[in-house]
Structure 1
């Protein structure tokens, strides 16, 4: 179909960025317990959006600021991208990561939640929201997000979940061993004082 046909349908390849999320690739480093990274994003769209170029430029600036630890500048640029294209889930998610880096955990959770509502099949969104929940001491919510991310194929989430479940199994085994020792001690004490009586 020619370009005129595309215009009539409201479709244009020039604006195929930031409308829906296809890939979310992160180069991650962990430093001082904070996730620091630079995300490369590719997206596709179906409908033309005249604001897309401004949103794309703002998103790239935000990523650049974030990689240089200019967190306030990053928040400003990601907010511009969001205002231009409210359905840009990756911009919401990146702003959530910046809030996390600033220890603004509730704001981080809020932004990740919006990103998840837009694109619920992206494991990264759940995985990084789990960090914010954990930082607030909400272990159950963090674990639920890790499990969801793992179910969506997130490799790091799968690994962490496997470690957690192994730790839980070890803890349960230790608790059972402790209970057994306690029963044996109580039985021994009772036998010494009341021969012939034994606890089940």
Structure 2
């Protein structure tokens, strides 16, 4: 795969450099023209690697002291080491949201720069890939279009009452009110607390929805 990636380009590839090929690094740094590709393990991978190394050393030291410990004690050392490796490995693989860089990140649906901290949203797949959106009305159609092929583990929406705070979208209460504009014209906001959503609805007008209802509303 690594070789084919930069050597056997499609006839319709948007960028080709005559006489040059590119093979992405499995581990390290690669260059082509003014592009630099970095390939290093992230925090989770580093933590898993260190935990495996330390556990292996601990198990080896325990086994060396055969004259001082019984077989049962050595078995406990090995079991503890294996348990620690498993726990740290799984924690390193748990999907995590990425902070939204307002004014820098682009929406993965409409490509607009994300600037509104009261209406942004984020999706994280089971494999840990994060998708960011400048508005909830961009996140919803993206979710609907990709949920079958790309299961999303985390759904986050901005809490309108607390600018910049991302909350669980599946538990949020949504308000569509023409008195509250949102970036892409959906007039859609989200609230962590239903009581706060009701208070804003009573003041500004509009309709309230839960997660299932808002998905139906934007799937028409």
Q: TM-score range by the shorter chain?
A: under 0.3
More helix by share: 1
TM-score between the two structures when normalised by the length of structure 1: 0.28
Greater share of strand residues, 1 or 2?
2
| TM-score of the pair, normalised by structure 2 | 0.26
